[in-house]
Amino acid sequence: MPLQSSIRKIYFGVADRRQMFRLFDRHAQRPDRWQNDDSALFAGEWFEIARAEHDYMLDILPPLWMRGEMFAMREFLTDSVTSVFYTLRIDGKTRYFHAYCDLAQPRSPVEMRDAIVERESWPVKAMTHHERLEHVWSATHDEYRDYAGDRFLAQYRGKRTILVYGLGRTELKLLDDLTEEEIAAKLPVHLRHLPIKTAA
């Protein structure tokens, strides 16, 4: 499976508690789970939550640390990646976020905070092509998403796949190969017609 490492928004809207727990491990079906170093797969992912979910996570265990507008979970997802929760003032409104940060890189929580603020301060509401794909993956139920197996060429195995409906039949396609029309069909109506930003 190809690794990711960039900071990326993986869900649009404010995740409720059920959605939040699904997003915590949206790679649950990946092949060879936990047999490899999955740090880069998770590190950099972030999404918005409500205050109730933020406070719920703060109360579960004493945090590993609290620094101003952020706290880190004591339980690590991988050797050095853990959840960091943020309370951020953006355009005069207090909002709450969850992110996976690699604490082996000491500045990662601060860099994540700055990236979230910058992303959420865009003057025009828009989504990048990559964000559209990530939202589709995050919002799709497990039974309709998977990872490429033996029926795919060797170079595609382990890549994310998704079930697509069209012309009276269903087709399993690589997530990265979805057309703009197929992506739009899988987005909620309020996201379908947002401008596509060419660069994050």
Query: pLDDT tens digit string along 134-175?
Result: 999 999 988 899 888 888 888 888 889 999 987 778 888 999
User: Predicted confidence band at 2 (pLDDT cuts at 50, 70, 90)?
Assistant: very low
Residues 15-71: pLDDT tens digits?
Answer: 999 999 999 988 877 766 656 656 777 889 999 999 999 999 999 888 999 998 999
CA-CA-CA-CA torsion sign (136, 137, 141, 144): positive
Instruction: State residue 158's pLDDT score.
Output: 84
Looking only at the bridges linking them, the beta strands covering 8-15 and 93-102 are: unpaired
Instruction: State residue 54's pLDDT score.
Output: 96
Instruction: State residue 82's pLDDT score.
Output: 93
